[in-house]
């Protein structure tokens, strides 16, 4: 898929961060963009700005935890543009707490959004993607490559997403479906501010320096390039590449490095 002009791209979590950046990027490339997120007001604003620039866009209020709303999102794409060529499962939720202290409902919530949200959207988009020989993209994380301390639920949900998508790829080897797992490093986006703490409340502020992180726009361009190249795994910057490489040869060393880095965060949950 070298040219996205006229292709229909569905993006979840499109009201901010990486999802918003993806929606704007694909619209500029001539795609029909279908945005899904819980905040309809934000989607309306983004859609208006895209249309002002001549882009084609539709949107639908979606909580990816709810299967029927995921079906409605795909139905919107089919009704407005006739099908689905690319599905980007980007809606996500993070956390920051030690498992010792964590309410188990926090982990259930992470799995519901990050894993089941992906499954729900893929289920209803799959027939159209198979027909188009299109692409499914799961926006995972470095935490989906190696366990990230203080983020047990986040890592677990991203590992689950990866396992699901890799299996989906194998099942569709003869059908021309492209499946890519995209792994950004730390990104300056709202998902970090809405990360859940041990009791399920939002942390409200990020402990890391946002200025040193990738921007959502940078991540979006890398993902677009990965879809064009039909990559299986899309690693970004040194964090993802180093994690992927070092885990093969020195996993115990990587454990220690992850522990050290995360323990140095301001107000780290590590005692």
Catalytic pick from 154, 159, 259, 260?
154
Characterize the bridge pairing of strands 178-183 and 233-235.
Answer: parallel
d(CA 43, CA 37): 7
d(CA 4, CA 226): 13
d(CA 59, CA 46): 10
Q: Does residue 81 sit in helix, strand or coil?
A: helix
Give pairs for 72-77: CB < 8 Å, separation 24+: 73/10, 73/12, 73/34, 73/36, 73/121, 73/124, 74/10, 74/121, 74/124, 74/125, 74/128, 75/124, 76/34, 77/8, 77/10, 77/32, 77/34, 77/125, 77/128
In the chain, count H helices and then E strands: 9, 7
d(CA 270, CA 81): 49
**Residue 128 annotated as catalytic:** no
**84 and 129 in contact (C-beta within 8 Å)?**
yes
Quickly list DSSP for 124-145.
HHHHHHHHHT-EEEEE--GGGT
Active centre residues (catalytic): 154
């Amino acid at each position: 898929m070298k040219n996205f002009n006229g292709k229909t791209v569905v993006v979840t979590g499109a009201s901010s961060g990486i999802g918003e950046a993806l929606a704007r990027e694909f619209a500029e490339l001539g795609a029909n963009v279908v945005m899904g997120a819980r905040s309809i007001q934000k989607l309306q604003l983004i859609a208006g700005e895209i249309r002002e620039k001549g882009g084609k866009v539709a949107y639908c209020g979606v909580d990816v935890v709810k299967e029927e709303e995921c079906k409605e999102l795909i139905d919107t794409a089919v009704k407005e543009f006739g099908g689905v060529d690319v599905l980007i499962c980007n809606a996500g939720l993070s956390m920051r707490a030690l498992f010792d202290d964590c309410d188990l409902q926090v982990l259930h919530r992470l799995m519901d959004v990050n894993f089941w949200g992906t499954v729900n959207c893929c289920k209803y988009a799959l027939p159209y993607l198979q027909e188009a020989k299109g692409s499914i993209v799961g926006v995972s994380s470095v935490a989906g490559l190696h366990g990230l301390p203080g983020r047990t639920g986040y890592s677990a949900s991203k590992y689950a997403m990866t396992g699901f998508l890799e299996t989906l790829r194998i099942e569709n080897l003869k059908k021309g479906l492209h499946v890519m797992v995209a792994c950004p490093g730390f990104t300056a986006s709202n998902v970090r501010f809405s990360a859940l703490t041990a009791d399920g409340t939002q942390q409200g502020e990020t402990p890391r320096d946002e200025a040193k992180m990738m921007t959502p726009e940078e991540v979006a361009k890398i993902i677009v390039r990965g879809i064009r190249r039909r990559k299986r795994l899309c690693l970004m910057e040194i964090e993802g590449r180093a994690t992927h490489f070092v885990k093969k040869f020195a996993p115990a060393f990587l454990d220690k490095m992850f522990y050290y880095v995360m323990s140095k965060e301001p107000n780290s949950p590590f005692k």
